[in-house]
Structure 1
Amino acid sequence: MSLMRPTAPHRTAGHAARGVRLAAVAAALAAAGAAQAQTTVSMWVHAGPGPERDAYAASIKAFNEANKDIKVDLVALPEGSYSDQVNAAALAKKLPCVLDFDGPNVYNYAWTKKIVPLDAYAPLQAIKGQMLPTLVRQGTYNGKLYSVGQFDSGLAIWGNKKTLTAAGIRIPKGVDDAWTLAEFEDALKKLKAAGVPFPLDMKFNYGIGEWVSYGFAPLLQSFGGDLIDRKTYKTAKGVLNGPASVKAAQTLQGWIKAGYVNPAAKNDGDFAAGKSALSWVGHWVYNDYKKALGDDLVLLPMPKLGAKAATGAGSWNFGISADCKAPDAAAKVLAHLMSKNEILRVTDGNGAVPGTTEAQSASKNYAAGGPLRLYVDQLNKGVAVVRPETPAYPAISSAFAEAMNNIFGGADAQKELDKAAKKIDQTIEDNKGYPSR
C-alpha cells in the first residue's frame, strides 16, 4: 500500500491549489493594470474656505466614485493670487487639465492659447444648447466655444420696502416697470430728506478692481456709452470718453457730492443696518439681506438711466488647458460639472443664477415665482451686457478702474476717461489689434 501512487483526487487538489494561486496573481496583475490605465485629470478652482469650495469637493468626490477610469485631483487656490498662479503655470507649460477663470479672461486666455476650443468634445456638445445665452456669448471667442459656466450673474437694486413706502416712492414691479433717471434721482432725494444717511449703497467697500468694471460699466451702458467700440473692438476712443459715458460718470460723481452714496464705505453692512435704503449689487447678498430685513426686503430692476437699463453679466467658468494630456477625460469632467445636480449643488451654496434652463427650473430661488427670478428676467430680456469680448479686456478693466477711482475722488470725468481710452488704444496698438492666431 505504501508504494501506491497518489490517487486522482489528491492530484486534482494540488492542481486546484496552484490554480487558485495563479488566479490570485492574475487578478493582482489585472488590478495593477487597471490602476495604471486610470487617467488622472488635474483641476484648479479659485475658492477659499466656504460653500463654493465645499460644493466643488463634493462634486469631484461624486465624479471619482462614479468613474473608476478617471481620477480628478482637485486643488483649491485663494482668489487673490489665482490669476498670477495661472499665468506662471502657463509660462512653465504646467497648467492643470481643467481650470476656472473669471468670464472676461476667456478671450485673452483663448488668444494666448492657454485654453482650447470645446466644440469638438461630444460630452459638451449638448450642453451649449442648455446654457444661458449670456454664458454662451461669454464663453465664445472667434466663433468657437472655449468655456462653460455653471452660473451667471447680474446686478439689480435691493430695496427696503418699509423705508421706500414711508418716503412715498413707487416700487417697480419688474423689468418693464423700471425707474427712469428722473424717478431714480427723485427717490434718492426723498430718502436723503427722510433722514437716510446714504440712500444708495454701491459697494465701494469692494475696492478698486474688477468690481468697478462689473458694477459701474452698466451705468455707462444705460446712458448709451460703453468701455470700447463693440463693432470693431479696435478702439475705445469716442466711446469710453464719448458724451454718453462722460455724462454717466458725471452723474455718479454728482450722487457722491450730494451725499446719496458713501464712497468711503468700509464694510458690506450699510444697507442691512439701515444706513442705506437701496443697494446697487448682485444676488450674492440675498441671504444676509433677507436675514436682516425679512419681509421688508424687495428686489427692484436696474433703472433706465438713458434709453435702456443695463446690468452686468458673466462669472467664473471652466475650460480645458492647452497643456492637458487627457482632454477627452477633462471634457467628461466638465460635462459632470454642468449637470443639473452639480449646478444646483454650487448655486445653492453661492446664490448665483443657475447656468442652464434645466437647473433654473429646479432652483427654489430662480424658478418662476422665486425670490430672485428678476435676475433671470434681466438676463432673458436683453438687459444684461457681457463684458467686452476681446483679449484687451484686462487692459480695459484696469484703465477704467483707475479712471473711475479718480472720478470718485472728484477728478474731471472727461480728462480721466480720455486718459483711459488712450491707454486702452495703446494696448490694442501694441498687440497689433489682437489678430487671430
Structure 2
Amino acid sequence: MSLKQRDKKHIWHPLTQHKLHPESIAITKAKDCLLYDEDGNEYIDAIASWYTCMYGHCNNYITRNVANQMQQLDQIVFSGFTHEPAVKLSEELIKILPKNQNKIFFSDNGSTSVEIGIKMALQHHSNKGDKRNVLIAFEDGFHGDTFGAMSVSGLSVYNGPFEEFFITVERIPTPNGANNTEVLNQLKSIIENKKVAGFIYEPLVQGAAAMKMYNVRGLEDILEYCKRNNIITIADEVMTGFGKTGSFFASNQIDIKPDVICLSKALTGGLVPMAVTSCSQQIYEAFYSDDMGKGLFHAHTYSANPIACTAALASLELLRSDNIQNNIKTIIASHQAFGERIKAHSKVQSIRQTGVIFALDLNIKMERYGNLRDTLLNFFMSQGVYLRPLGNTIYIQAPYTINQKQLDKVYKSIEQALEII
C-alpha cells in the first residue's frame, strides 16, 4: 500500500477539506530546494515549505550542528534551568534585532509567539494598574490559529466558527498612501473612545492576505500615535523575519520600532519547531516585581529546546554569511526582471515585490480554495514546481539557496499557467 493510501486511514491534514481533497502527495525526501515524492517525481519548493526552509531542506551545516548538540543535551526544563544554546541564541538575536529589543521569551510556534505578545500587551497595563481590554489590528491580517491570535486576525475563512469567543479587537484598513489620513483618524477615534492596550501588525507585507503590501509612511504614523498614547506595538514578523524583505527584519526598514516582535518559521531554518517573542526592557520591567502574580505565566514544555536553539544559531550564521546575502540580492534582481517581463500580460492584473517576496494578481476572480485555484496548483506540480496560490494571487518565496536555473523554471511555469486559465 502506498504512503498516500495509508495516510487516508488516520490522518487529518491542516487547511484541508478531505471530502474534496481525499489524497495528499507523499514526500519521501527533501534536499536543498527540491522535494521528491514516492512516485519518483521532483519538485522545486518555490515557497520554502511555508517560508521556513530558507537555507534549503536538510541544510548540511544546520543538521551537522544539531547532530552534535543531540549528543550533548537534548531537552531540559527551562523554568529554573538554562543552557548554552539558549543563552548564545539570545545574544545573537539581540545583535540583529532592532536596537530597542532587549529580552527574549521562547516558545514553540508562530501562533504562540503572537499569543505571548498579546499577553505582554494586556498584562503590561494591568500590572501598572491601568486595565485595558481592546487591541487594534489591520483588516485582512493573519496572526495564527490560537484564540488570541485568531482574535486579532481578520480573515474569517479561518476564524468564522469561533468569532463569538474572541477578545475585543478593533480593525483599521492598511494604509496605501492615498488613505493614510483617513486610517490615522480612524485609529485616533478608537483610541479616544476605547481602552486600547496594543496594536498588532505584520510589517510591510500581510502574508496570508495574499502578500498584500502597504504604505510604510502610513504605518509609521500609526506607530508614532500609538507610542504617544502608551499603546504597546506588536510586530508579527513570523513570516517577514530573517531576510525575506531584504533586511534582517521588516521592522529594520521602519523608523519607529515595535515594543514587541514575534518570530518563528525561518528561525530554525525549517528543521524543528520554535518561536521567540522579543520585547524592550520597558515591557519587561512591568513584569519585574516582588509580586509573583505580576510575572508572565506562560510556559511550554519545549521552551528553548537545546536542539531547536542550535538549529536557530546555525541558521543565523547562514543568514549573515556573504554567500546568503549575495544570493538574496540575486533573487531580488531576478524577481524584478521577471516582474518587468510579466506585468503587461493580459491575464496579469498587478505585480508587487518586497525583498525576495514576489506576487502577482490574476485579473480573474477566484475563490481562495476554489476549483480554479486547485487547477493552478495541480498544473504547477505537473511542471515540477511547488507553488501554492492564495486565491487569484500567485506568489514566490523560495529558499535563499535557489539557483538561477531553478528560478527560471519557476518563472516559466507561471508564464505557462497564464496560457491555460
The TM-score range, normalised by the shorter chain, is: under 0.3
Higher relative contact order (CA 8 A, sep 6+): 1
State TM-score, norm by structure 1: 0.27
State TM-score, norm by structure 2: 0.27
The structure where strand makes up a greater share of residues is 2
